[in-house]
Amino acid sequence: MASNSDLGSEEFETFSSTSDVELLKRAWRNEKAAPEILQYEGALVERAKGQIELVEANIEDYVEDGTDPLIVSLYQMDLDRTQFLLRSYLRVRLLKIEKFMFHNLKSEEAESRLSEQEKVFAKRCADDLAKHFEESVLLKLPENYQSVLKQSLISETDDMVPEPHLDTFVVCKSNDFVSLNLYEEGESPETVEMERGDLYFIRYKIVKGAIESGKIDLI
């Protein structure tokens, strides 16, 4: 028979441990699975960086004072795993910034979720791309069609800016009992209630707030 401790080990972990690696893994998973860019976990990234540097220094010391190579290699493996998480987290974000660069700069809300370095990156990317489009195509078109952001001058909105598709569906797991409103204003109200550990395919907009508050994780 499967004992409870076997089945629940993962849940136990997310519940009882709040180690930075666990938090980083959660941030990484959420970021990978969410259609739009999420709030930058600045403090967490700084802590993880600090710990990585510390372990790097420790490993150098171990090598110098002749610690058992087995132990050194185990510490190295742990370090590699944390570094992978951090790198992958930052890279997913860069990928999303590139994909939605004009949107990220246009919407104040989206821009506020970027780190300072990411803002600089997004700005430079957008400037370079705009310059490239203008030099290679746009400036050779009739005047009405020269905007990077609009199809033509009669467009009232910036209709050439790719935006994240928020009506998409994601897979989520709840960490807690959550009751969510399924429908938007003007529709008949209907809620979904999730128990801890429940898995759902759900529309991203519905769980957006619960992800930010940490009640729900994307998978």
Q: Does 109 bind other proteins (CB under 8 A)?
A: no
Q: What is the C-alpha separation between 40 and 96, in angstroms, rounded? A: 12
Instruction: Determine how many CB atoms are found less than 10 A away from the CB of residue 134.
Output: 15
Chain centroid offset of residue 155 CA: 32
Residue 146 corresponds to which tokens in the numbers above? 């020269």
Closer to other proteins by Cβ: residue 20 or 41: 20
Pick the piece of the chain touching other proteins (CB under 8 A) from 12-20, 110-118, 126-134, 135-143.
Answer: 12-20
Size, binding site for other proteins by CB under 8 A: 67
Of 177, 219, 197, the C-alpha closest to 12 is 197
Q: What is the C-alpha separation between 94 and 97, in angstroms, rounded? A: 5
Q: Does 38 bind other proteins (CB under 8 A)?
A: no
Between 46 and 75, how does the x/- string for binding to other proteins read (CB under 8 A)? --x--xx--x--------------xx-xxx
Shortest Å, Cβ 213 to other proteins: 18
Footprint (CB under 8 A) of other proteins, residues 138-177: 151-152, 154-157, 159-160, 167-171
Q: Does 103 bind other proteins (CB under 8 A)?
A: no
Footprint (CB under 8 A) of other proteins, residues 186-215: 192, 198-203, 206
Shortest Å, Cβ 183 to other proteins: 7
Q: Does 40 bind other proteins (CB under 8 A)?
A: no
Closer to other proteins by Cβ: residue 99 or 131: 99
Residue ranges that bind other proteins, judged by CB under 8 A: 1-3, 6-7, 9-10, 13, 17, 19-22, 25, 29, 32-35, 48, 51-52, 55, 70-71, 73-75, 77-79, 81-82, 84, 88, 91-92, 94-96, 98-99, 151-152, 154-157, 159-160, 167-171, 180, 182-183, 192, 198-203, 206, 219
